[in-house]
Amino acid sequence: MRFALLILVALAVQACDDDTSATPVVEEVDRGDPNDPKSDRGGIPADWTPRIATTWLHVDVGDMTGEASIWFEPSRSKTVSLEASGLAIDDVYDDDGSVPWEVRLGALHIAHVAASGPIHIDYHFKREKQGEGLAKNGSTVLWPYFCGNLFPCRSGPADGMQFEMQVSGYASTSKAIYPEELIADAPSYTLAFAIGKYTCQDLGKTDAGTTVEVCWLPNGKTKALKGSKDLTAAFDWLEQHIGAYTFGKRAGSIAVAWGASSAGGMEHHPYWHITTSEMDLPMTHVHEAVHGWFGTGVRMQCWEDFVLSEGTTSYLAARALGAVTDPATEDAVWADYRDTLDYTLEDEDIIAWPSTCGKVDILKGGLFSNIVYMKGAFFWKAVADEITPEVLDSVLARFYEAHVGTATTMGALVTAVEEDTGFDTGPLVKHWLHSKGNPFD
């Protein structure tokens, strides 16, 4: 996402009293409250296995029902637990018939999981307030740990999943925009759809063959085309300088009506969402596109690695936009970044890169802050000033190629820079990422 998405600032995980009339699970181990995030897996402890491999999902927004079929990676565990705090579970079964299950403390616990084949889950869901699932405007936001309000899931940023999805039940005068399948592993919050009276236009095709498009809501064409005018060129630059895009051969920006108090966008690749108020801002379009490489393409190991996603993306967005336009455009981006950092520090101050992993709640812990975006971007700019932007491009490209589709840490990326170039990043890490205060003072 670009900067602090204001509609999310006040979000908090909410527990709900779920139906407990289902067949009891055999294993009665108290695994804690999944609505009290305490690890990088959104409250589901790291030892809750097996891991999710693929999710097939059918969502009907007319009768508010869902059908999920979930395949798991091989494991000796015969019990699975999934986040489902916003769901009313109707039935759980596998290809052979019913299986024991129960809902407890916002999580769905299932016993006797077969070694192969999917678990099928039928459920009802409801509309949520903006930023916590499916909102009344017809679009979804599941970041950071609200996927359980739309489908049974694991919300930890390290958990990668592939999925197939079908959305039905909307008016014939509207259009639902979403990828029917996600063929590369991505965090669960990547899954999204937007329903509205959309008009879409292809913007062009990159040298690698990716078609870039933009979709707008009524009266939004002028802003959409203004903001996306450099998007194809920037996307092409990323493919050529950072690496191959892994989420298909079609991608683009989708306008969403989040409201006047919202800002930025969400990295729902390959169709990322941008609030209507920022559809005319090229940087917002490019920022969300860059997440296809860092944040979504290369996942965070834990929320403390937020700077790996947002700091790196903010840097690369400025770099890519400047590369395909002119130095003055990039200079203007960095001036905007400086202003953003200055006025943010007037109200708050945090360490951009905490030293822990799995200990900080991204929302309640205050890590969701413009400080992470801006200090992270200026850290990488400072590195680029020492080793040249072109050398940093090549390091980021090698790191992306080695880690795309997996979860990793900011520490691993910093180490890669040092090993590839021999440059000691230590002083810059301390100055920009491990210290409070204004680094420009």
Phi and psi torsions of 4, nearest 5°: -85, 110
pLDDT given for residue 387 in this prediction: 98
Which DSSP letter does residue 433 get? I
* Helix locations, 277-387, DSSP H: 282-290, 306-324, 327-345, 370-387
- Per the listing, tokens 């200055």 go with 342
Longest CA–CA span in the chain (Å) reads: 66
Q: Answer yes or no: same fold for 199-290 and 299-433.
A: yes
pLDDT given for residue 149 in this prediction: 98
Please give the Cα distance from 3 to 283 (Å, whole number).
Answer: 11
Extents of the domains making up the chain: 16-191, 199-290, 299-433
Q: Is the peptide bond between 179 and the residue preceding it cis, with omega within 30 degrees of 0?
A: no
- For the question of whether the overall pTM of this predicted structure is more than 0.85, the answer is yes
8 Å CB contact between 387 and 422: no
Q: Is 275 helix (H, G, I), strand (E, B) or coil?
A: strand
pLDDT given for residue 7 in this prediction: 37
pLDDT given for residue 48 in this prediction: 56
Please give the Cα distance from 157 to 297 (Å, whole number).
Answer: 12
pLDDT given for residue 73 in this prediction: 86
Please give the Cα distance from 184 to 186 (Å, whole number).
Answer: 6
Q: Does domain 299-433 have CATH number 2.40.110.10?
A: no
Sequential pLDDT tens for the chain (441 residues): 865 544 333 332 222 333 333 322 222 223 333 334 333 333 445 555 688 999 999 999 999 999 999 999 887 777 899 999 999 999 999 999 999 999 999 999 999 777 678 999 999 999 999 899 999 999 999 999 999 999 999 999 999 999 999 999 999 999 999 999 999 999 999 999 999 999 999 999 999 999 999 999 999 999 999 999 999 999 999 999 999 999 999 999 999 999 887 899 999 999 999 999 999 999 999 999 999 999 999 999 999 999 999 999 999 999 999 999 999 999 999 999 999 999 999 999 999 999 999 999 999 999 999 999 999 999 999 999 999 999 999 999 999 999 999 999 999 999 999 999 999 999 999 999 999 999 999
SS (H, E, C) 383-395: HHHHHCHHHHHHH
8 Å CB contact between 152 and 113: no
Output the CATH code of domain 16-191.
2.60.40.1730
pLDDT given for residue 3 in this prediction: 54
Q: Tell me which residue of 431, 406, 407, 427 sits closest to 418, measured CA to CA.
A: 427
pLDDT given for residue 43 in this prediction: 44
Contacts of 128 (CB under 8 A, 6+ apart): 86, 134, 135, 146, 149
Q: Tell me which residue of 249, 291, 285 sits closest to 269, measured CA to CA.
A: 291
pLDDT given for residue 117 in this prediction: 87
What is the topology classification, in CATH, of domain 199-290? Neutral Protease; domain 2 (1.10.390)
